[in-house]
Amino acid sequence: MGVPNGQHAAQHREDDQDPTVGALSRRFAQIRTELAVPGEFPPDVIEEAKNAAAQPLPQLPDLTSLPFWTLDPPGSMDLDQAMHLARDNEGYHVRYAIADVPYFVAPQSKFDAAVRERGQTIYLPDGRIPLHPKVISEAAASLLPDVTRPAYVWDLLLDGDAHVTRVSVARALLRSRARRDYETVQAEFDAGRADDQVRILHEIGTKRAALEVARGGASLPMPEQEIVEEAPGRYRLELRPPRPSEDWNAQISLMTGMAAADLMLAGGVGILRTMPAPDPAAVARFRRQAAALGVPWAQPQPYGDFLRSLDRSKPKHLALIHEATSLFRGAGYTPFDGALPDLRTHAAVAAPYAHVTAPLRRLVDRFGLAVCAALSSGEPVPGWAREALSTLPKLMSASDRRASAVERACTDAVEAAVLSSHVGEEFSGSVVDQTSKNRPIVQILVPAVLALANGEAKPGDDVRVRVAAVDVETSRIDLDIIARQA
């Protein structure tokens, strides 16, 4: 992915002053090559995208009088979702609009083929590789404020406990009134200055989270390792728990995905996001690991409730969170047309679930939206969507692998860059896991670095480590354990 010439110049000036900046830039370029990260779109694809963006708005029902709004990270331009929330007697009326990407991507076009090959947006510290050309993802299809856009609008009625009592989805025109970000919304809520839309979002999000607990849902409270760019080519690492406003917003998306899955299953056609329940032997092993670390787990308590009780600031709990990844395996996409699949649920959601809320950033959502809109209206599912269902699992699996590998490789590189000026220094950390050869994996909290270490220690131990050597160009970090405390 290219960067403006001015940014290249700024990076070159930084390179002259700090060799780490240049080494990290070269490492990112190497990662792109090694992992076959797509580059710029071909000219003919860009031309098709520009033509699609220039077409007139479709003739659709007009919802532009409703004050929709978006909630995303600061600076986001690829806005997939907008919402309008209202109270409805004792319950709620949720309108959740999703970018109408199918309108802009002609089936079987070169544009369509290029998007299918990519699968999803890939994020790197020095730029992102978009699923669609920016003329679509950050302009024509994005639900930006103060412009009229086509969208798939989910219309959901909820009772007082936030159970969904009625759902439909149809295309319409809308006009977002505000682009808001998590940090600002959270600050306003905490200060008691939130408007009614945010207060309703908080109510629904909190009640939906309670329903998730009640149905046996489970989420992995893994600390989020965030890469923050302080200046061109310079980064810092933080461990940041999600803000409550992010969780409230995620519950709206999750609710919509569950409604989509129900529509698909009732209509006998679609594609689900599935994950099998953890193997009983894996859960039993995880219980033994908790006991070995001295973390109480009452026998009747489900593993999801136990995970929610863990404190990421405690070394032994943090080690268990890392071990719990073994319970969240086997996620995939399950298409069906006619006979319903044997596996219909996502174990972490504890319900059927489908991806339909991020079509600008994830390929499969475009097809799920088209299927759901047809089923909701009683119309035939478009042939282009139906025919693609069986091909999507392979495309999404390949793109998931590439995106995960890029994320891990880039994080390793930034970790090396952050520690490169600290060779010989000591840091406190926790052993959160170990390799098959019993080599400790240490989480340093400040800076937020996760790396292999040399020495004897076991998961749950507090340790002091010394940075022995760092090579940014290969992402290599050598940590030595110099003291441990069980």
Distance, in Å, from the CA atom of 195 to the CA atom of 19, rounded to the nearest integer, reads 48
Q: Tell me what the mean pLDDT of segment 96-114 comes to.
A: 98
Using 50, 70 and 90 to split pLDDT, how confident is the model at 315?
Answer: confident
Output the six-digit token pair for 87.
């109270």
Using 50, 70 and 90 to split pLDDT, how confident is the model at 318?
Answer: confident
Q: Which helix (DSSP H) or strand (DSSP E) does residue 371 occupy?
A: helix 363-377
* Percent helix / strand / coil, the chain, rounded to 5: 40, 25, 30
Per-residue pLDDT of 64-92, as tens digits, reads 999 999 999 999 999 999 999 999 999 99
HSE-CB for 178 with a 13 A CA cutoff: 14
Give the burial string for 285-310 (b: 16+ CB within 10 Å, else e). ebeebbeebebebeeeeebbebbeeb
Contacts of 388 (CB under 8 A, 6+ apart): 367
Distance, in Å, from the CA atom of 396 to the CA atom of 16, rounded to the nearest integer, reads 41
Distance, in Å, from the CA atom of 168 to the CA atom of 386, rounded to the nearest integer, reads 20
Residue closest to 430 by CA, chosen among 292, 293, 288, 284: 293
Residue 293 dihedral angles phi and psi, to the nearest 5°:
-90, 0
Q: Are strands 449-454 and 440-444 parallel, antiparallel or unpaired?
A: antiparallel
Spatial contact of 99 and 360, defined as CB atoms under 8 Å apart: yes
Partners of 471 in beta bridges: 476
Where would I find the H helices in 420-483? none
Q: Is 51 helix (H, G, I), strand (E, B) or coil?
A: helix
The amino acid that residue 27 corresponds to is R
Better-predicted residue by pLDDT, 219 or 263: 263
Output the six-digit token pair for 463.
């340790």
Per-residue pLDDT of 166-206, as tens digits, reads 999 999 999 999 999 999 999 999 999 999 999 999 999 99
Residue closest to 132 by CA, chosen among 219, 200, 41, 12: 41
Q: Tell me what the mean pLDDT of segment 48-62 comes to.
A: 98
Distance, in Å, from the CA atom of 290 to the CA atom of 314, rounded to the nearest integer, reads 13
Distance, in Å, from the CA atom of 180 to the CA atom of 193, rounded to the nearest integer, reads 14
Q: Is 206 helix (H, G, I), strand (E, B) or coil?
A: helix
HSE-CB for 170 with a 13 A CA cutoff: 13
* Residue 237 confidence (pLDDT): 85
Using 50, 70 and 90 to split pLDDT, how confident is the model at 485?
Answer: confident
Residue with tokens 């090559």: 33
Per-residue pLDDT of 404-416, as tens digits, reads 999 999 999 999 9
Distance, in Å, from the CA atom of 164 to the CA atom of 287, rounded to the nearest integer, reads 35
Domain residue ranges in the chain: 56-224+242-273+342-396, 280-327
pTM: 0.92
